[in-house]
Amino acid sequence: MIEFNQISRSFMVGDQQVSALRNVDLNIAAGDYVSIMGPSGSGKSTLLNLIGLLDRPSSGIYRLDGGNVTDLNDEQQAHVRSQKIGFVFQSFHLVPRLTAAMNIELPLILAGMPVAERQSRVEQLLENYGLKDRADHRPDQLSGGQRQRVAIARATSMHPSVLLADEPTGNLDQTTGKEVINLLEQLTEQNVTLILVTHDPVLGGRAKRQLHMVDGQIIRETERSS
Amino acid sequence: MKFLDVMQFASGSLRGSRARTLLMILAMSIGVAAVVVLTGLGEGARRYVINQFSSLGTNLIIIFPGRTETAGFGPGMLLGQIPRELSLDDAQSLLRSRAIGRIAPLTIGSSQISRDAINREVVVLGSTSELLTVRHMSLKKGQFLPAGNIHSSESVCVLGSKILLELFGKQNAIGAWVRLGDRRFRVIGILSDQGESMGFNTDEIVIIPVTSAHMLFNTSGLFRILVEAKSRDAIMQAKKEAESILVTRHNGERDVTVVTQDAVLATFDRILRALTLAVGGIGAISLAVAGILIMNVMLIAVSQRIHEIGLLKALGAPASQIRNLFFAEATLLSVIGSIVGLILGQAGVLVIGKIYPSLPVTAPWWAILAAFGTALGTGILFSVWPARRAAALDPVTALSRS
**Residue-wise pLDDT tens digits, B362-390:** 888 888 888 888 888 888 888 888 999 89
Q: What is the mean pLDDT of residues B181-188?
A: 92
A97·B16 Cβ contact <8 A:
yes
Determine the distance in angstroms separating the CA of A193 from the nearest CA of chain B, rounded to an integer.
Answer: 17
| Interface with A, mutate which of B14, B311, B312 (most A CBs under 10 A) | B311
β-strand partners of A5? A61
DSSP state, residue A171: T
Q: How many CA atoms lie within 13 A of B303 on its CB side?
A: 5
pLDDT at A154 over 60: yes
CA distances (Å), origin B48, targets B106, B348, B361, B362 = 26, 18, 9, 11
Pick A107's closest partner by Cβ from B13, B315, B318. B315
Between CA B279 and CA B38 the distance in angstroms is 6
pLDDT at B80 over 60: no
Query: Any long-range contacts for B2-8 (C-beta under 8 Å, 24+ apart)?
Result: B2/A109, B2/A112, B5/A109, B5/A112, B6/B324, B6/B325, B6/B328, B7/B328, B7/B332
Asked if A150 contacts A98 with a C-beta cutoff of 8 angstroms, the reply is no
For B167-236, the DSSP string reads HHTTS--TT-EEEETTEEEEEEEEEPP--EETTEEGGGEEEEEHHHHHHHHT----SEEEEEESSSTTHH
For the full predicted model, state whether its pTM sits above 0.90. Answer: no
Highest-confidence segment of A93-107, B29-43, B49-63: A93-107
Which value does ipTM take for this structure? 0.92
- Total length of chain B: 402
pLDDT digits (tens, 9 = 90+) for A161-185: 999 999 999 889 999 999 999 999 9
Nearest to B38 by CA among B27, B46, B26, B28: B46
Between CA A107 and CA B314 the distance in angstroms is 9
Residues of B with CB under 8 A from a CB of A: 1-2, 5, 9, 12-13, 15-16, 307-308, 310-321, 395-396, 399
- Total length of chain A: 226
Asked if B57 contacts B136 with a C-beta cutoff of 8 angstroms, the reply is yes
For residue B70, name the pLDDT band (cuts at 50, 70, 90). very low
- Report chain B's C-alpha Rg in angstroms: 33
Between CA B387 and CA B65 the distance in angstroms is 70
pLDDT digits (tens, 9 = 90+) for B291-313: 888 888 888 888 888 999 999 99
Between CA B232 and CA B63 the distance in angstroms is 17
Which chain B residue lies closest to A73 (C-alpha atoms)? B318
Q: What is the mean pLDDT of residues A204-226?
A: 90
Residues 171-190 in A contacting B (C-alpha not used; CB under 8 Å):
none
pLDDT in the model for residue A10: 93
In the three-class reduction of DSSP (H, G, I as helix; E, B as strand; rest coil), residue A154 is classed as: helix
pLDDT in the model for residue A113: 92
Residues of B in contact with A49 (CB under 8 A): 396
